[in-house]
Amino acid sequence: MNNSFCFEGVKLGKHVILEEFVILGKAPNELDDEIIDTIIGDNSVIRSHTVIYMGNVIGSDCKTGHGVLIRENNVIGNSVSIGSHTVIEHDVIVEDNVRIHSQAFIPEYSILKKGSWIGPNAVLTNAKYPLSQNVKDNLKGPTICENVIIGANSTILPGIQIGSNSLVGAGSVVTKNVGPGKIVAGNPAIELKDVSEL
């Protein structure tokens, strides 16, 4: 007995490892009486003190670090790694082979496409005018395209698209879309060169 707890509706694949004090299938307050399946694929490793809310569909070979929080209704692909103390809010899409490092924040309605890499302490945002009237009706997370690298401590503003194979330098604040294959850095981030020039 390792003190982990699975609510009703949790479906674990083969050879899933749950470490100490994991909670799976927790309902958000407004859905307390409704059960939505929570699925975790084969060979996944959920490390201690991770909380995964109901309605998540998580693929095979996924790993969480310690103390990860994953809110409800996300679709997470195969071979995804989520670092310790990272928060993924609800209605997020994370495709296959994505690496999210420790203490990252991924807000509602973000899309992380295949092979993207999110550095430690990176913050994605989804509210253009926080605390404004009807802000929750206008949330729009960033889209991080295939094989993008987001450097440590970077901030990506709401609705921004980072084009495939691009690189965002550490500590950058990205305020406008980035084309495919570009390197950007700074606050605000500016285009420096093409990735092909590295």
Tell me the pTM. Answer: 0.95
**What is the torsion angle, in degrees rounded to the nearest 10, for the CA atoms of residue 50, residue 96, residue 160 and residue 184?**
100
Instruction: Give the pLDDT confidence of 66-86 residue by residue, as tens digits.
Output: 999 999 999 999 999 999 999
DSSP conformational letter for 135: G
Instruction: Give the pLDDT confidence of 14-29 residue by residue, as tens digits.
Output: 999 999 999 999 998 8
Spatial distance between the Cα atoms of 62 and 43, rounded to a whole number of angstroms: 7
CA 120 to chain centre: 12
Consecutive 10-residue runs of the chain (198 residues): their mean pLDDT? 89 98 91 85 98 98 98 98 98 98 98 98 95 91 98 98 98 98 98 94
CATH number at residue 41: 2.160.10.10
- Residue in this structure with the two tokens 């295939």, named with its chain if needed: 146
34 within 8 A of 4, measured Cβ to Cβ: no
120 token code pair: 């430690």
Number of domains within the chain: 1
Q: Which domain holds residue 192?
A: 5-197
